[in-house]
Amino acid sequence: MKQLFALFAALAALAAIPVVSLADATHVVRKGDTLGKIARAHHVSASKIQAANGIEGTHLSVGTKLVIPGGKAHSKRRKVRSGKGKRVTVRESALPDDPPPGAQLSLVDPQGSALSAEAWKLPTEAELAELAGSVKETDTAPPGVAASVAPEAGKADASIKDRLLRVAQRMLAVPYRFGGTTLWGLDCSGFVQKTFAFLNLDLPRSAREQFREGAKVAKADLSPGDLVFFRTYAKYPSHVGIYLGDNRFVHASSRERKVTVESLDTPYYVKRYIGAKRLLFEQNQIEN
C-alpha cells in the first residue's frame, strides 16, 4: 500500500512539472518590442532573426510569431518594482527554437490566420511551362547572355519578355518561404530564379549573385522583364523583383507572405532601391 501511495505521489510531482514544447519556444511580438530588443533578450544577432523569418527591414507587427535561431533555452531578466518601491529582478522563461526540416512556415500569415482560398490555387509546373511557351533548346543559356527566340521555338505572337511576365504573374499568391525554391513556397531570389528557368535561363540562387549578372539599366530606362534590386536587411543587394512596367514590379514579399505586385514609388522601396539589371534582349535589340 505504501508503494502504491509513493507511486501516485511521484506521478503527481511529474504532472506539476511544466512541459516545454517547440511551440512555446517562439517569440510573439508584443507592443514596444523592437528587433534589437528581441535579439538582445535571446542573445542572438538581429540579422539571424531577420534571416530565419525572412524579415526585410526592422518593422515588426504586434502578434507576429518569430522563430528565434539558437536552439538552447535561456531566460531573460526584467526589473519590476516591489510594493516597497525596490527594484526586483525577475527571470522569465524564453526558449528559442528552430523550425523542423521541411516545415512550411509560409502557409500561415504573420498573424497566424490561414491564408485565403486564392493562395491554395497554386499553379503547376506544367501550366507554367505552357505559359512560357518553353524554349526548345537542349542547353540552358548562361546567365547574362542575351536570349532571342525564333518563332518556331516558342509562340510566334509573344516575345520572350511577354512570356516571362505571363509566368511571373501566374505565380501571384504563391506563398513566401525563406529559402524556398518550389511552388509551395519561394523567397525573392528563388521566385526570380524559377521564373527565368521556365525560359531555359539559368540564374544564380541569391539576389546578391543575381545582381552581378546582365547589363546595368538606369531607373528611367527600365523595361518589362528587367530585374530590380533593393538593399533591405544587409549592405549588399538582399531583395529582387521583376519589373512589369508602369513603375510596378512583381516579387516574393516576406512582408505580404506571398508573391505580389507593388509600386517602385512605395516609400519603403524608394529608400532601398539600388539598381536594375537587364538579362533579356529581343532580336532587334541584339542587332542594334
pLDDT for the residue 281: 78
- Residue 97 pLDDT greater than 80, yes or no: no
Q: What is the DSSP string of the chain?
A: -HHHHHHHHHHHHHHHSPPP-GGGGSEE--TT--HHHHHHHHTS-HHHHHHHHT--SS---TTPEEP-TT-S-EEEEEEEE-TTS-EEEEEEEE----PPTT--GGGB-TTSPBPPGGGG-PPPHHHHHHHHT----SSPBPTTS-----GGGS-TTS-HHHHHHHHHHHTTTPBB-TT-EETTEE-HHHHHHHHHHTTTB---SSHHHHTTSSEEE-GGG--TT-EEEE--SSSS--EEEEEEETTEEEEEETTTTEEEEEETTSHHHHHHEEEEEE----HHHHH-
> Minimal CA–CA distance to 148: which of 159, 163, 139?
159
Which residues are 248's β-sheet partners? 245, 263
- pTM for this entry: 0.55
pLDDT for the residue 22: 36
Contact yes or no for 237/211 (Cβ under 8 A): yes
Can you tell me the distance from the alpha carbon of 242 to that of 225, in angstroms, rounded to the nearest whole number? 6
pLDDT for the residue 243: 98
| Residue 5 pLDDT level (bands cut at 50, 70, 90) | low
Can you tell me the distance from the alpha carbon of 211 to that of 164, in angstroms, rounded to the nearest whole number? 18
Residues belonging to the active site: 188, 239, 251
Average pLDDT over residues 75-92: 44
Can you tell me the distance from the alpha carbon of 7 to that of 168, in angstroms, rounded to the nearest whole number? 64
Residues of the chain with pLDDT > 70: what percent? 63
- Residue 267 pLDDT greater than 70, yes or no: yes
| Residue 183 pLDDT level (bands cut at 50, 70, 90) | very high
Average pLDDT over residues 91-104: 35
Higher pLDDT, 45 or 106: 45
- Residue 262 pLDDT greater than 70, yes or no: yes
Average pLDDT over residues 40-63: 77
